[in-house]
């Protein structure tokens, strides 16, 4: 899977006032990499990119989803942008926006 999803996630985060702080390596098991983000003076939030595969941990560009660390419900599945035409693209945009709303609420809950 190409890394279109990574750039779109990062652009969407930045448009909502999140600042990308760092990219941390994965755990060589189920996490491909972790993004550290923050907004204003609040505590940083970590987004873990899932990459568990049969025998290896997938590289970040091939990760298939991400979750906000510390939350079981705030996640995003990447799927395939091009499969299913414009309907699939629209679904991705809706899922991304929902993820951002959940991220905002998670920040407020902490």
Tell me the pTM. Answer: 0.89
Into how many domains does the chain fold?
1
CATH code at position 92: 3.30.310
Q: What share of the chain is helix, strand, coil (3-state, %, to 5)?
A: 35, 25, 35
Name the helix (H) or strand (E) containing 24: strand 19-25
Strand partners, 36: 22, 46
Give the model confidence (pLDDT) of 65-81 as tens digits. 999 999 877 899 987 65
Phi and psi (nearest 5°) for 103? -65, -45
Query: How far is the C-alpha of 26 from the C-alpha of 108, rounded, in Å?
Result: 26
Half-sphere exposure of 13 (CA within 13 A, CB side): 20
Q: Which domain holds residue 10?
A: 4-109
Phi and psi (nearest 5°) for 11? -60, -40
Give the model confidence (pLDDT) of 11-54 as tens digits. 999 999 999 999 999 999 999 999 999 998 778 999 999 999 98
Among the listed residues 54, 78, 57, the one whose alpha carbon sits nearest the alpha carbon of residue 66: 78
């Amino acid at each position: 899977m190409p890394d279109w999803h990574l750039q779109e996630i990062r652009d969407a985060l930045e448009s909502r006032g999140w600042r990308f702080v760092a990219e941390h390596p994965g755990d060589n098991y189920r996490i491909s990499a972790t993004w550290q983000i923050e907004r204003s003076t609040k505590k940083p939030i970590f987004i873990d990119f899932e990459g568990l595969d049969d025998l290896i941990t997938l590289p970040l560009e091939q990760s298939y989803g991400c979750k906000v660390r510390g939350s079981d419900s705030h996640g995003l599945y990447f799927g395939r942008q091009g499969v299913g035409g414009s309907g699939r693209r629209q679904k991705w945009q809706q899922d991304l926006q929902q993820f951002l709303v959940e991220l905002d609420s998670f920040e407020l809950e902490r």
